[in-house]
Amino acid sequence: MADKNTVFQQKLSLNIRGDLMDLSKPKIMGILNLTPDSFYDGGRNNDLIKALKKAEEFLSEGADILDLGAYSSRPGAVHISEAEEMERLIPIINAITGEFPNAVLSIDTFRSAVARAAVNEGGHIINDISAGEMDTAMFETVAALGVPYILMHMKGTPQTMSSETEYKNITTEVCQYFASKIARLKQLGVKDLIVDPGFGFAKTADQSYELLKNLDFLKIAGHPILAGLSRKSMIYKTLGTDAVNALNGTIAANTIALMKGANILRVHDVKVARETVKIFEQVG
């Protein structure tokens, strides 16, 4: 693998419908799960009133992006249809864009049809846990839509990923994965990309910590890095607790991610993450 300190130039902006988002300073993405079964907050925000209230809370606390997901990707999650995903998602996109027209919305989906519908209704970014692996039309769809695209590393599916954790060198393999995907996306004309190493997705806790330790290697991809560590099992199992009591561990992990070059923190706790970034920036 190339030396992480060689001459790779990292792109640190996103074109959000003509407005540039500057990622030279870390941004906060608030997780808005619209599902009944997500691992931490399933069912808390899965109707219109609850979702609008949570969106208002996140925006008031300083969220730069709201990440809306209507398909649970926790290990072993129940597979739902495309129609059900859209039924959960589209009305809430409409409600949020109506109430908060300046909010930047990321759509957490691996389905190209859902991505297309969501962007047509006001979504700004597509966040794909499968990086095009679960829907081969996704890359072409994102290229046609002209929106930023978050590609995450995962093997298998949410239903099978727990058994797909064999790597010779996880950091090298993740970097090679992104290099291949980015080359294809650039051929299609996609310019605004964000890479997410996929902590906990087809990875043991030890493998996830190795990726966190080596997060700065992902700068060689030349694009912003998203770190999604919030309240994950790699944190709470290490601490012998549960997701509800994993906030302190999340703060520690997010601080390490910032020190290693993360440009976006994807979190359940926006106010705390904003404070983490503020302290980091005093010495960063």
- Residues assigned a catalytic role: 232, 266
The closest alpha carbon to 115, from 103, 128, 129, belongs to 128
Instruction: Write phi, then psi, for 108 (nearest 5 degrees).
Output: -85, 95
How far apart (Å, rounded) are the C-alpha atoms in residues 56 and 49?
11
DSSP 87-123: HHHHHHHHHHHHH-TT--EEEE-S-HHHHHHHHHTT-
Q: Residue with structure tokens 């080596």?
A: 214
Q: Where are the alpha helices (DSSP H) in the chain?
A: 48-60, 82-99, 112-120, 138-145, 170-187, 205-213, 233-236, 247-259, 270-283
Q: Residue with structure tokens 């910590």?
A: 209
Other residues' Cβ atoms within 10 Å of the Cβ of residue 190: 21
How far apart (Å, rounded) are the C-alpha atoms in residues 53 and 50?
5
Helical packing angle, 138-145 and 170-187, nearest 10° = 50
The closest alpha carbon to 22, from 30, 13, 31, belongs to 13
Q: Euclidean distance between the first and final Cα of the chain, in Å? A: 26
DSSP assignment, residue 231?
A: T
